């Protein structure tokens, strides 16, 4: 089973499990190389439409992309209908684990106790199901999708600055528009300058299944 990781510094795992976040945009390496190779031989393309191809290829999803000049099939990390484990460290999943074993080690002594990168997929308790895939430039995001990405609408008191909020290390940051909030969020998650560079991203829709 595949695992997906959300940024905990920005509270995105919790927002997913609570149902506030149900989309994620990812500049996947395979996709970036595919588009880069395409644009080296052809002019930069404009997308007319995309179509999900349900069948996977070597464990990857496939997305048909139609442009004015060409039509091609691009691999994506996840595929529609796939159930994916939401990574959390063992300490969050099994807070009372005293003598639980992972292989030949006590769970509390493994790297996965505090680092979710080392957790076994079969021991993860929460999962999402991929319900849709698309491809777009990062800055083409709508206000509605900004909220689906984990930006929260803040009902503020009169005179209090900001109407949209993201959290970074549990500190709320307030913004006047959902786009400004998401731009700050994606720079925190993917590195400073990500929003400004406006990369192509795979857009995954998903829902929590347990």
Has this prediction a pTM greater than 0.95? no
Distances (CA, A) of 106 to 5, 100, 103, 109: 24, 6, 8, 5
Range of the domain at 30: 3-88+124-208
The arithmetic mean of pLDDT across residues 101-111, rounded, is 91
pLDDT tens figures, 147-199: 999 999 887 555 555 689 999 999 999 999 999 999 999 999 999 999 999 99
Q: Does some domain include residue 99?
A: no
End-to-end CA distance of the chain: 15
Element (H, E) at 202: strand 200-208
Residue 117 in any domain: the answer is no
Alpha-carbon span 140 to 75, nearest angstrom: 21
Tokens 């929003």: give the residue.
195
Q: Which two tokens stand for residue 147?
A: 């909220």
- Paired with 59 in beta bridges are none
- DSSP string for 4-29: E---TTTTHHHHHHTTS--EEEE--H
Place of tokens 């349900």: 54
Cα(111)–Cα(60) distance, integer angstroms: 28
Q: Please compute the mean of the pLDDT values over residues 95-114 and round it to a whole number.
A: 90
Q: What is the pLDDT of residue 32?
A: 86
Residue 105 lies in a domain: no
Identify whether the C-beta of residue 204 lies closer than 8 Å to the C-beta of residue 26.
Answer: yes
Q: For residue 43, is it within any domain?
A: yes
Confidence of residue 4 (pLDDT cuts 50, 70, 90): very high
- Flag whether 204 is in a domain: yes
State both tokens at 13.
């795992």
Alpha helices in the chain (DSSP H): 12-17, 29-41, 90-93, 143-148, 178-190, 194-197
Distance CA 4, CA 165 (A): 24
DSSP 8-state class, residue 36 = H
Q: How many structural domains compose the chain?
A: 1
Tell me if 201 is assigned to some domain. yes
Q: How many CB atoms lie within 10 A of CB 16?
A: 22
pLDDT score at 156: 58
Q: Is residue 159 part of a domain?
A: yes
- Let me know: does 7 contact 116? Beta carbons within 8 Å: no
Q: Hey, how many other C-beta atoms are within 10 angstroms of the C-beta on 94?
A: 17
Note whether residue 132 is domain-resident: yes
Q: How far apart are CA 66 and CA 48, in angstroms?
A: 6
pLDDT one-digit tens code per residue, 60-82: 888 888 888 888 888 899 999 99
């Amino acid at each position: 089973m595949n695992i997906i990781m959300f940024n905990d510094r920005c509270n995105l795992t919790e927002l997913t499990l609570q149902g506030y976040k149900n989309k994620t945009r990812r500049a996947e390496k395979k996709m970036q190389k595919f588009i880069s190779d395409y644009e080296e031989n052809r002019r930069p393309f404009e997308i007319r439409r995309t179509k999900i191809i349900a069948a996977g290829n070597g464990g990857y999803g496939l997305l048909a992309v139609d442009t004015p000049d060409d039509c091609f099939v691009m691999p994506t990390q996840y595929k529609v209908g796939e159930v994916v484990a939401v990574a959390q460290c063992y300490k969050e999943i099994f807070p009372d684990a005293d003598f639980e074993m992972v292989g030949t080690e006590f769970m509390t002594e493994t790297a996965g106790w505090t680092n979710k990168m080392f957790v076994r997929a079969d021991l993860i308790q929460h999962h999402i199901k991929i319900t849709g895939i698309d491809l777009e430039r990062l800055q083409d995001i709508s206000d509605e999708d900004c909220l689906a990405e984990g930006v929260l609408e803040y009902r503020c008191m009169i005179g209090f600055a900001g109407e949209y909020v993201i959290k970074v290390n549990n500190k709320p940051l307030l913004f006047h528009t959902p786009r400004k909030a998401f731009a700050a969020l994606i720079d925190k998650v993917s590195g400073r300058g990500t929003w400004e560079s406006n990369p192509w991203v795979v857009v995954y829709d998903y829902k929590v299944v347990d």
